[in-house]
Amino acid sequence: MERQNDKKGLGKNLRSLKPKIIDFYIIRKFLGTFLFCLALILTIAVVFDLSEKLDNFMEKEAPWQAVVFDYYLNFIPYFATLFAPLFVFITVIFFTSRMAVNTEIIAILNSGMSFRRMMWPYFLSSLVIAVVIFYLTNFMIPHANLIRLDFEDKYYRPRGRRLNIENVHRQVYPNVYVYIESYSPIYMRGRNFTIEKFDEDGKLVSKISAPTVTWDSVSNKWSVLNYTLREINGMEDVVTKGTSIDTTLIIRPEDFSRDPSFVGTMTYKELDEYIDLLKLQGSEEIKVFLIEKHRRFASPFAVFILTLIGVTLSSRKVRGGIGMNIGIGLALSFSYIFFQQFASQFSLKGNLSPLLAEWIPNMIYMVIGVVLYKLAPK
């Protein structure tokens, strides 16, 4: 008897998940409103960006084909994916508030559909958007950013003086460390160069030192000039001198001072490999890349959390109408951005883990979403 009741209950739950007309209605409203809001905000963003940079484009005589196809055609997907979770939030607030004002939410609930069941088409739409965001961010946007940033270097951002890079100290292999007192990117020449190799016990095994080191961009090798090689074997200390020796170190001149925007030009695989390299080198820049790595997962997941908050917040008919819900939604949107930026900066400047820095805003807003869900009309 109990088994029969369990089967009936399971069958009833499965039947409740069958697509209904209202599901397609909500999905159509969700995705349609999202695309409309996205197009509207992107148009405004492009107009403001163009008005800010038009003088630079004209001064540098940027071809209009390059402006359209190299810059804005790549700027639009970058901007869209950057703020897509917030666009989703505003979209849900807007069209769900309209449904509540028109008493459509009450009609849906009175028809026998539970509030939890009503949220299924919302989350299905969010899944579509989250998958697109994840794919674009990790596989397509990096290449687009490379073209866009190259255009900015040519026609917008002023090329400042490339100053000498001081005190470069990196681990290039396990127990192998490189130090360059000063490096000039203009002449591709470094001063006071050393390579130190240690054994597993931390004892110095060998050391190469030279007053000058140069980078050969053709062969991608470092040439150490007028070097002194010191090899330590127990109590024996052998010193060898020479005029020139080539090295194949896994470090390049551009690694000394990467532009922060460089992280956005890497696919997920490239980003992961570069993080492994930075770990090996003991670079202090690794936090920037770890934050970007975790952000690429946290951002698509935020779509679901902000959808939950948006639906539960705007499904109740309030005295202030749509305007009240949109105002609350905008306030929550800006607070989400604030928490996100604050956590990222706290991770860069402090001891907060990059993983926690990117997921803390989602955790906080997940709690808000659960509380609002408990208060939502059932």
Cβ-count burial 66-96 (b if 16+ within 10 Å, e if not): bbeebbbebbbbbbbbebbbbbbbbbbbbbb
pLDDT above 90 as % of the chain: 31
The CA distance from 325 to 317, in Å, is 9
Burial of residue 231, with CB atoms counted within 10 A of its CB: 0-12 exposed, 13-18 middle, 19 or more buried = middle
Structure tokens at 209: 């030192």
Average the pLDDT over 31-51 and give the result.
93
DSSP annotation of 260: G
Average the pLDDT over 37-59 and give the result.
91
Could you tell me the maximum CA-CA distance found in the chain, to the nearest angstrom? 92
The model's pLDDT over 310-324, given as tens digits with 9 standing for 90+, comes to 898 888 766 656 777
Structure tokens at 51: 């008005």
Q: Which residue has the higher pLDDT, 302 or 329?
A: 302
Average the pLDDT over 262-281 and give the result.
85
pLDDT band of 378, cuts 50, 70, 90: low
Residues 6+ apart with CB under 8 A from 120: 17, 23
Cβ-count burial 9-28 (b if 16+ within 10 Å, e if not): eeeeeeeeeeebebbeebbe
pLDDT at position 307, please?
93
pLDDT band of 290, cuts 50, 70, 90: very high
pLDDT at position 163, please?
58
The model's pLDDT over 178-189, given as tens digits with 9 standing for 90+, comes to 888 888 877 788
The CA distance from 79 to 81, in Å, is 6
pLDDT at 257 over 90: no
SS3 172: strand
* Reported pTM: 0.76
Looking at every residue in the chain, the average pLDDT score rounds to 84
Average the pLDDT over 112-130 and give the result.
91
pLDDT band of 9, cuts 50, 70, 90: very low
pLDDT at 159 over 80: no
Which string of DSSP letters, residue by residue, matches 189-257? EEEEEEEEEE-TTS-EEEEEEEEEEEEETTTTEEEEEEEEEEEEETTEEEEEEEEEEEE--S--GGGGS
Contacts 24+ apart (CB under 8 A), 289-294: 289/263, 290/354, 290/355, 291/344, 291/347, 291/348, 291/354, 291/357, 291/358, 292/263, 292/264, 293/268, 293/354, 294/354, 294/355, 294/357, 294/358, 294/359
pLDDT at position 129, please?
95
Strands (E), the chain: 165-173, 176-184, 189-198, 204-216, 221-233, 236-247
pLDDT at position 161, please?
45
Average the pLDDT over 185-196 and give the result.
86
pLDDT at 80 over 80: yes
pLDDT at position 155, please?
85
Domain boundaries, the chain: 2-157+292-375, 186-254
pLDDT at position 336, please?
85
Average the pLDDT over 100-120 and give the result.
86
Average the pLDDT over 249-267 and give the result.
74
